[in-house]
């Protein structure tokens, strides 16, 4: 049982990055590299685990989420724009913009579904003013959910029938019935409720068994839950604010976790000295393959 194996799992620091807000890790199985963003430093990083090398592009705005695309490009959410990043030249080109309902709202976490559509939520300073959008390969944008505050961790079940969405301040991960053919979601329910803990679920990823792995902001760990919502275990990290996990590595059994230092006091940073670094956890289960925008 996976729940019995958690005591053997440990997190290793694989990249000393000291990011302000490391986020959005994205595994490229073809290149065997991890893309990730440092939102407040306006950087998109490319980390090669085999060599330990990490380089970055300066993108000039709050890049928060990425998706693989055909060719030498990434799809990127930044501010109120959806853009492409050319991985050869570093050029950023805008594809679309969204007019948000209030000031201070920006794109946050995003992920591509198995059919190649990009889902991206927003973060709002006003409670209930954030939303979830779907950007289709034909260039159309659809509002899929409203009434959120910090739309965060997204994912799809192993069988593709369930869509997960996190609203961090609510401390809940929701599940929806997902229609892959139409891209519609319905019948929202609470899949995981962490309301009795002083933590916020942040980014998430799904493994091949359908288990949900979520980073717990202010929780010093990554938590894992079964598809039915049963708590399976937690892997401790030496930092207070893990932000997002994703599976990678040659067999997709390495769980990479980005972290943040933003908002921490000097005393808290001294306690969690490696805040902002990237960590890796060698697991016993493989993650799902990374979806590519446009299929």
What distances in angstroms separate CA 77 from CA 6, 7, 26, 54, one per listed residue?
A: 34, 37, 13, 21
Within 13 A of 230's CA, how many CA atoms are on the CB side? 8
Instruction: Let me know if 193 is a catalytic residue.
Output: no
> Which residues neighbour 161 within 8 Å (Cβ) at sequence distance 6 or greater?
177, 178
Q: Residues of 237-251 as b/e, b for ≥16 C-beta within 10 angstroms?
A: bebbbbbbbbbbbee
Task: Please tell me what DSSP assigns to residue 268.
Answer: H
Which position has the token pair 């990434």? Answer: 74
Which residue in 61, 167, 202, 277 is the catalytic one? 202
The DSSP H or E segment spanning 269 is helix 266-271
Active site (catalytic) residues: 202
């Amino acid at each position: 049982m996976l729940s019995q194996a958690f005591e053997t799992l440990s997190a290793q620091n694989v990249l000393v990055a000291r990011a302000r807000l490391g986020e959005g890790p994205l595994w490229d199985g073809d290149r065997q590299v991890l893309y990730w963003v440092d939102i407040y430093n306006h950087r998109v990083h490319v980390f090669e685990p085999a060599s330990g090398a990490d380089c970055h592009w300066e993108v000039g705005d709050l890049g928060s989420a990425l998706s693989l695309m055909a060719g030498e490009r990434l799809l990127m959410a930044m501010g109120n724009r959806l853009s492409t990043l050319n991985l050869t030249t570093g050029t950023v080109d805008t594809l679309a913009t969204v007019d948000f309902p209030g000031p201070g709202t920006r794109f946050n976490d995003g992920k591509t579904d198995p059919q190649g559509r990009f889902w991206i939520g927003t973060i709002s300073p006003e409670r209930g003013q954030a939303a979830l959008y779907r950007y289709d390969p034909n260039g159309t944008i659809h509002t899929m959910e409203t009434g959120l505050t910090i739309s965060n961790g997204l994912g799809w079940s192993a069988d593709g029938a369930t869509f997960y969405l996190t609203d961090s301040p609510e401390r809940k991960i929701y599940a929806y019935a997902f229609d892959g053919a139409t891209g519609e979601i319905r019948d929202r329910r609470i899949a995981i409720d962490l309301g009795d803990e002083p933590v916020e679920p942040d980014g998430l990823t799904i493994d091949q068994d359908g288990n949900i792995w979520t980073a717990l902001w202010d929780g010093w760990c990554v938590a894992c839950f079964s598809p039915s919502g049963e708590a399976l275990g937690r892997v401790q990290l030496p930092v207070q604010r893990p932000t997002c996990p994703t599976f990678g590595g040659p067999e997709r059994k390495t769980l990479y976790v980005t972290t943040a230092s933003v908002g921490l006091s000097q005393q808290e940073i001294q306690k969690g000295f490696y805040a902002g670094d990237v960590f890796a956890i060698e697991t016993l289960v493989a993650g799902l393959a990374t979806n590519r925008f446009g299929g």
